[in-house]
Structure 1
């Protein structure tokens, strides 16, 4: 349902450790991180927005169908419950954006600043520490769309179960 969460998680779990294990020069490690960021920045925001859009569409569709329902048991309407799950999934998915701006930006900015200094950056321990911090923050951020996918999936299961009753 959400390939972005898996892709993001892979960066923290696999790519950054490879950088840490194979680099002996701080400036080279920084260049690699900047390229990783560049390609991730092209793909991941679009996936996040598309996924959030799909969940928002499902939320609005289910909310509309539950409001037009003539059921006397309006509160127990599966469409209403599914709608709230899809709405929560949309919010959870897009929550990675403010997390990035508020929590990750200082580390990102430091890494970009160091990379702009080029070969004058020789403190490998500092760069490694920053990349480890970035990987942990990125892993935490990856939980946001993953939670969104899980919540949406539970809404779908709930809907399918209600149809089978």
Structure 2
């Protein structure tokens, strides 16, 4: 295998795995920590939604470029290995598995748009109102359910690049 393929393999696989961890950490650590502190102390819904917003903004700026880089590396690798007919451990040629890995990793973008946009927009609206101290009592009551829904959806989203990393790993171990 050429050095460029080795680099594409390393970049694609590690980026997909890192992306999954980065996304999943929000649902497994960060947002649950915010909701726990909110329940255990006097952290307001306004502060909770502002903390969520900070996590969201960092993820929104970091994750799509990482997904694109991982998918591009994996896509290149799938293309460059298209003539390899040796089956992997699971009996499939490496190129289709790596193509699946590329698509799965990049799938965070359409998943976010299709399934998370509404919840994201509601939370962003609440965060904007919280900045101006304009949250109503009714709106603050929605924060817990929106954070819970977002956390569940984000957990699912974190599985996509992990599936990509696993598929790529199976393809390159052969």
TM-score tier after normalising by the smaller chain length: 0.7 to 0.9
Picking from 132, 152, 167, the partner of 1:136 is 152
Stretches (4+) displaced over 6 A: none
* Gap runs ≥5 in structure 1: 67-75, 159-165
Alignment correspondent of 1:163: none
Higher gyration radius (CA): 1
Q: Gapped runs of 5+ residues in structure 2? A: 1-13
* 2:108 corresponds to 1:96: yes
Match of 2:55 in 1: 36
Cα distance in 1 for partners of 2:45, 2:60 equals: 22
Query: Quick check: 1:58 aligned with 2:70?
Result: no
Cα RMSD of the aligned pairs, angstroms, is 1.6
Paired position in structure 1 for 2:21: 6
Give how far 1:124 is off: 4.2
Equivalences, count: 148
Q: Distance in 1 between matches of 2:86 and 2:50?
A: 54
Aligned equivalents of 1:115, 1:42: Cα separation in 2: 18
Shift of 1:8: 0.8
**Residues 8-157 of structure 1: pairs in structure 2 closer than 5 A:** 8-23=23-38, 24-63=43-82, 65-66=83-84, 76-78=85-87, 81-118=93-130, 119-121=133-135, 122=137, 123-157=139-173
Deviation at 1:61, TM superposition (A): 0.5
TM-score calculated relative to the size of structure 1? 0.84
